[in-house]
Amino acid sequence: DTEVTQTPKHLVMGMTNKKSLKCEQHMGHRAMYWYKQKAKKPPELMFVYSYEKLSINESVPSRFSPECPNSSLLNLHLHALQPEDSALYLCASSQGTNTGELFFGEGSRLTVL
């Protein structure tokens, strides 16, 4: 199994809503990532988890809150988002933070109204 699974594939939310994006991998990878990608732009790193601990936060606003409940799961909790937060949110995993390539999920396309 070389898949990273993300749900939901599409999400529309208002600025006052609270929602969560979910990511799952069963490759035994110990590093997991959240990236944000706007149209025609490269993915931008948001968070890195290593062995279930947050190791990197790229100065992401607190309205985005990551969580790693166990080694296979990664969540991104969303609250009080802005329309400019609309983007494709990509989850990825790798063997470690300095080993192996990143495997990406298909992403969750978020629209904030």
Interface residues toward another protein, by CB under 8 A = 31, 33, 41-45, 48, 50, 55-56, 58, 90, 97-98, 101-107
Number of helical (H) and strand (E) elements in the chain, helices listed first: 0, 11
For another protein, give the closer residue by CB, 31 or 81: 31
Q: Pick between residue 32 and residue 78 the one whose CB is nearest to another protein.
A: 32
**42 vs 83, beta carbon nearer another protein:** 42
The dihedral over CA atoms of 97, 100, 106, 112, expressed in degrees to the nearest 10, equals: 20
What is the CB-side half-sphere exposure of residue 3 using CA atoms within 13 A? 6
Question: Residue 79 CB, nearest distance to another protein (Å)?
Answer: 25
**DSSP one-letter code for 30:** S
State in angstroms the smallest separation of the CB of 89 from another protein. Answer: 11
